[in-house]
Amino acid sequence: MRVLVSGGAGYIGSHTVIQLIAAGHDVIVVDSFANAKPSVVGRLEALTGMPLDVRSFDLTDHDKTEHLFADEQIDAVIHFAGFKAVGESVEKPLEYYENNLVSTFSLVRAMRRHDVRKLVFSSSATVYGDNAQVPMQEDAPTSATNPYGWTKVMIEQVLRDVAEADPSWRIALLRYFNPVGAHPSGTIGEDPSDIPNNLMPFIAQVAVGRREKLSIYGGDYPTPDGTGVRDYIHVEDLAAGHVAALHRLGQTDTSVNTWNLGTGHGTSVLEMLHAFERAVGHELAHEVVDRRPGDIAESYADPTKAQAELGWRATRTVDDMCVDTWRWQSANPDGYP
């Protein structure tokens, strides 16, 4: 298939591009490079051994989006592009709603106009809000605790309504749990532009000497060791989930399909820290501080629906995630050039 990958230069997008090409798909990347570095492209070309078709523009630009679909025969779209920093979304709600929603409207309009009806959307386990039961199942009610999360809830709703109005759409809403890890080559990985909000890139930056110590947000949660529990999933498993979802959309009778992409296993902050220490070979400085507002005690997927319907499952362990993250971070202490 000829697949347009929006946000294909980003963390999850770049790993997915490699697997799409390996699976025989023809890929076009569109990325604004607002949060991705152009040097990713050369690294993807080195890994795949072929030139990558990259269009550098923002999907909120309706004309450019329209022209792309007018000029190219596209069979399906994987839509990763979007702002994703929770804290920043609280400070800049309007920018988050506008960017994430308008880019999706522009994309879906162009798809409709050019009769492209297969769409895989990057949603998030954040749509389960702060009241969900674990393990989280796809039919649980959705809500959010910050503007970033609301953009995911809203876009899911928009896409369900679009598919309701025209059942010829084939849409996958992929709810990611906590993506971590890096390509085993160590040449591509997660490269936060600011001080990392997320646990894994923060630990990696402590390990490489860019940060003094990890602050563990809360040691008094009702979890086995008192620290927060999450379902960390290796980005390579997540990328494979996208390829499987794309394949499945060609066969399914249902116009909207929601799938959790997680491992089904919870890991605490302390367990993750210790796994990273094993990967690095020494202890890492840390202290337990107050809980972070908005955090929940535990989040992990019930992945059985994705396993049954996609024939996919996450296979990589927490140790794999840490070893691969460390290979990337130690080879690229300051991220991409």
Token pair recorded at residue 99 = 């960017």
Name the residue nearer to ligand UDP (CB basis): 76 or 199.
199
Active site residue 217: no
Token pair recorded at residue 314: 């996450």
| Of residues 117 and 175, the one with the C-beta less far from ligand UDP | 175
Binding to ligand UDP, residues 225-244 (CB under 6 A): 228, 230
What is the smallest separation between the CB atom of 179 and ligand UDP, expressed in angstroms?
9
Write out the DSSP string of 136-151.
Answer: B-TTS--B-SSHHHHH
Give just the sign of the alpha carbon dihedral 291, 295, 296, 300.
negative
The one segment of 14-22, 96-104, 215-223, 252-260 that binds ligand UDP by CB under 6 A = 215-223
- Under the binding rule (CB under 6 A), the answer on residue 96 touching ligand UDP is no
Q: For ligand UDP, which residue of 2, 160, 292, 305 counts as binding (CB under 6 A)?
A: 292
Asked if 37 contacts 31 with a C-beta cutoff of 8 angstroms, the reply is: no
Total interface residues for ligand UDP by CB under 6 A = 15
Q: Pick from 3, 127, 159, 216: which binds ligand UDP (CB under 6 A)? A: 216
The rounded distance, in Å, linking the Cα atoms of 263 and 112 is: 34
| Residue 200 backbone dihedrals phi, psi, to 5 degrees | -60, -50
CB of 228 to ligand UDP, least distance (A): 2
> Near ligand UDP by CB under 6 A, which window of 16-24, 29-37, 145-153, 212-220?
212-220
Q: 80 with 12: CB under 8 angstroms?
A: yes
| 198 lies in the site for ligand UDP, by CB under 6 A | yes
With CB under 6 A as the contact rule, the residue among 295, 305, 309, 317 that binds ligand UDP is 295
Catalytic residue among 128, 148, 176, 221: 148
Asked if 178 touches ligand UDP (CB under 6 A), the answer is yes
Q: Is the Cβ of residue 159 or residue 199 nearer to ligand UDP in the bound state?
A: 199
Any contact of residue 217 with ligand UDP (CB under 6 A)? yes
The residues near 91 (Cβ < 8 Å, ≥ 6 apart) are none
How are beta strands 118-124 and 170-176 bridged, if at all?
A: parallel
Question: How many angstroms separate the Cα of 222 from the Cα of each of 201, 295, 298?
Answer: 25, 13, 9
Task: Write out the catalytic residue numbers.
Answer: 148
